[in-house]
Structure formats: structure tokens, C-alpha cells
Amino acid sequence: MEILRKLPALLLATLLTFGLTSCGHYQLGTQAKLSFSTLYVAPVENTSGLPQTTALVATQLREKLLRDPRIQLVADPAAAQAILEVKLVRHSREITAFRPEPDDTGLARKSDLTLHAELTLRDTRGNQTLIASRPISATRQVFSTAGTAGAPSDQSAAAYQTLPLLADSLATRIASAVLDTW
């Protein structure tokens, strides 16, 4: 009888002991070592036909890279152990849904906007290319309203509002390609 009264406290103490010791060696983030510790991000080149994406991608990319404690961004390529070059090469739009009205001439209600880029990562110490012209793309969906008789559809505005999200997705993929251990 005495054991049955102490059993819940004993089980609780055992669970706490195992629970606390199992988390004792957990470390947040990755412990993988990179071959460089300083990185220069060259100005983003843009031949995609979307000039406003240059600043968006560059800003988002730098923010993503700044969050990783394994590297330090530098403002001078001579001070960097590695140089990252990003070129926005093209964008595409694929219509995925139309307005369902019978008099419709094919006005899109939903489309996929894709931004394609190439990235190159060079190690300046050995003048070695770590990543050469790797294609990376990101896609976001654009939704637009049908418009009314006096007002046109808002496709352009919807696409413009999606650009920061598209730039964020592309920057995340680029940062992942650069920082993941390969």
C-alpha cells in the first residue's frame, strides 16, 4: 500500500529526469562548418524584366545571410573569403485559373509568378568556384479580382504586391544553397 501511494511521485520524478537529460545536448541551428567565414554579396544583376525586384532580392538575401552566425558579411570584396554573385535572369507567369463567365475573353484570376536566378559563389583565397551558375527559382501565386463594368481587373497590382513575397522566397532558397553544407 505504501508503494502505491508513492508510485505517482516516483513516476513523475523518473519522467522529469529522462525529459530533462534528453534535452541536455540539444543545440539550436547547424554545427556544420563552412569553408569561409566572411562573405561579400555583390550587387544583384537583373535581366529579368522586373527592375523593382533587384532591391527586394538584395535586401532579403542580406537579411537571410545576416541571421547565420557562421558568417560575417563584409562591404569590401578584398576583405571577403568568398564572393556571392546573383543574377536575376528571367521571370515567367503561368495562368492557372480563368474568370468563369461566358463572355470572358480569358482574363486570368490566378497565376503563378516565377522568378529565375543564377548564383555563383567563389572562394577568393584559392580563386576557386564553389558554386557555378546554379539555377534557382521561386514561385508565388498571384490572385486578382474580376473587376466590374467600370473598373478593370487588378492583375498588375496583384502581381506588384506579390513581388516582396517572391523576393523573400527566392532569397531564402539562395541563402540555403550558399549556407547548406555541400
> What tens digit of pLDDT does each residue of 27-41 get?
555 567 888 889 999
* Whole-prediction pTM: 0.73
The average confidence (pLDDT) of the chain is: 81
What average pLDDT does range 53-64 have in this prediction?
Answer: 92
φ, ψ of residue 152 in degrees (nearest 5)? -75, 170
Strand partners, 129: 122
Among candidate residues 87, 76, 67, 79, the one with its CA nearest the CA of residue 131: 87
pLDDT value of position 24: 63
What average pLDDT does range 145-166 have in this prediction?
Answer: 67
Q: Which residues contact 62 (CB under 8 A, 6 or more apart)?
A: 41, 73
pLDDT value of position 137: 93
CATH class of the domain at 35-145+154-179: alpha beta
10, pLDDT greater than 90 = no
The predicted-structure confidence for 102-131, as pLDDT tens digits, reads as follows: 655 556 667 788 899 999 999 998 888 888
Q: In the chain, what are the domain boundaries?
A: 35-145+154-179
pLDDT value of position 11: 82
Instruction: Copy the grid coordinates of residue 46.
Output: 537583373
